[in-house]
Amino acid sequence: MQAALFDGKTLELTNYSLRKPAVDEVLIKVSACGVCGTDIKIIAGKSGATPPVVLGHEFCGIVEEVGDRVNSISTGDFVSVDPNIFCGECQYCRAGKVNLCENLTALGVDIDGGFAGYSIVPAKQCYPLPPKLPPQQAVLLEPLSCAIYGFQRAKIETGDAVVIFGAGIIGLIMLKLAKLSAVRQIIVVEPDKIRRESSLQNGADFVFDPQTAEYSAEINKITGGGGNAVIECVGSAKVVEQAYRLVKPGGRLVIFGVSPADRSWTVKPYDIFRKDISIVGSFLNPFTFKTAVELVCSGKIQLNDLDIKSFALRDIQKAFENQQRRNSLKTIIDMSI
């Protein structure tokens, strides 16, 4: 089969032979696999991986074969894959903090993933889906599950004002989650005009261009002193700083975006103390994949209106370019093309 293999330096399409699934694994014929910002970072050497490895961690497909000890999944099931595998034995797993697992591995990062005709995955990582759910939406369940955890970390309460920095795919998903909550105001800060417009279409009450001088004063005025929850979905220390300044006393700042590891920002501890502000991170998707599946299958979260561009596996380089240049909100590899 064809697979996009990362050898530690570059990503190349190669002919790859499949092994047999183990007793607790399933063989999936991949339907689609999303290209994530993390994939771009892995190839640029800015995010860890265990090469040689088939990349692609946001994928779905049809189960073609199941191992002898698999009961929960059957041949013919359409499934989405949670790529993050925890050990269940370390101190963090035992404390229920599985995203902090000391032996965490991920499909498409450390173990062969979904940019391939087929993928072998542990059955426990698979979530059966309705056969009618389009693969283009099923690949978004992984990013949605991560966003749900970030949203949970924001501890949104009824009547809150929520400020979201960045209206890429994650920012828009956060906006959709906020729309499901009884919040007072949803404010999106985003430099790109098209993305601001799509935020308004998705129900943002106000949108602001951070390149305008008066935007933070305006937000302070509208909200009465800042957001009760401010969620950074950009991945920039500079933007985290801007987001921090807009947290209302007693409020929460969620750092969701992945800032470069060597960047920092200056913060006055007195400020955090006096304003009683919580600053929290959000790493991966502990126990939120099922929620993601349920929200999409119940129709509460609609993913059919997002600007997604599909490429064939043979055009994976073009797909990566598309994702890197942010030509669309999301890029996926569609195995039916």
Residue of 290, 257, 316, 308 lying closest to 56 (CA atoms): 316
CA angle 295/169/163 to nearest 5° reads: 85
Q: Rounded to an integer, what distance in angstroms lies between the CA atom of residue 40 and that of residue 33? A: 14
The pattern of x and - marking residues 39 through 78 that bind Zn ion according to CB under 5 A reads ----------------------------------------
Q: Which residue's CB is nearer to Zn ion, number 86 or number 244?
A: 86
- Determine phi and psi for 257, rounding to 5 degrees: -60, 150
Q: Which is nearer to Zn ion, 45 or 130 (CB)?
A: 45
CB of 101 to Zn ion, least distance (A): 3
- Find the part of the chain contacting Zn ion (CB under 5 A) among 34-42, 43-51, 203-211, 257-265: 34-42
Closest CB 270 distance from Zn ion, rounded Å: 37
Q: Where are the beta strands (DSSP E) in 170-326?
A: 185-189, 206-208, 227-232, 247-255, 278-281, 308-311
Whichever of 28 and 93 has its CB closer to Zn ion, that residue is 93
What residues does 180 pair with on adjacent strands?
Answer: none
Work out how close the CB of 92 gets to Zn ion at its nearest, in angstroms, rounded to a whole number. Answer: 6
Of the candidate residues 5, 11, 28, 36, the single one contacting Zn ion (CB under 5 A): 36
Provide the phi-psi class of 172: left if phi over 0, else alpha when psi is between -120 and 50, else beta. Answer: alpha
Site string for Zn ion, 204-243 (x = CB under 5 A): ----------------------------------------
Kindly state the smallest distance separating residue 129's Cβ from Zn ion, in Å.
Answer: 18
Joined together, the tokens standing for residue 12 give 């190349």
Is the CB of 99 or the CB of 242 nearer to Zn ion? 99
Q: Are 60 and 83 in contact (CB under 8 A)?
A: no
Write out the E strands in 123-184.
126-129, 161-165
Window 73-132: residues binding Zn ion (CB under 5 A): 86-87, 90, 93, 101
Which residues contact Zn ion by CB under 5 A? 36, 38, 86-87, 90, 93, 101
